[in-house]
């Protein structure tokens, strides 16, 4: 994972403020937050789908062993 400390974060925000300006920065932050939220939801959906498939497979194997 990225190891960005507080000074690095401040530098990145200062550069973003210079490049995009104070009016666009909140919009960019909101868009980035929405993107991260969508990614998180998609990842949770994918992991839950995989978990469901694993449970179904275990149930099938368990039923086959009991016969």
Domain span at 65? 24-67
In a domain, 10, yes or no: no
Q: Is residue 8 part of a domain?
A: no
List the structure tokens of 34: 């929405």
3-state secondary structure of 34: helix
18: in domain: no
Q: What is the pLDDT of residue 25?
A: 85
Total domain count for the chain? 1
Cα-trace Rg, the chain? 22
Enter the DSSP assignment of 1. Answer: -
Looking up tokens 């498939």 gives 53
pTM value is 0.58
What is the model's pLDDT at position 2?
A: 67
Q: What is the pLDDT of residue 64?
A: 81
List the beta strands (DSSP E) in 1-67.
Answer: none
Over residues 8-43, the pLDDT tens digits come to: 988 988 998 899 888 898 898 899 899 999 999 999
């Amino acid at each position: 994972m990225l190891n960005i400390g507080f000074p690095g974060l401040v530098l990145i925000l200062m550069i973003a403020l210079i490049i995009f300006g104070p009016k666009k920065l909140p919009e960019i932050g909101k868009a980035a937050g929405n993107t991260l939220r969508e990614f998180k939801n998609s990842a949770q959906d994918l992991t839950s789908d995989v978990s469901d498939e694993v449970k179904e497979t275990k149930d099938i194997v368990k039923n086959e062993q009991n016969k």
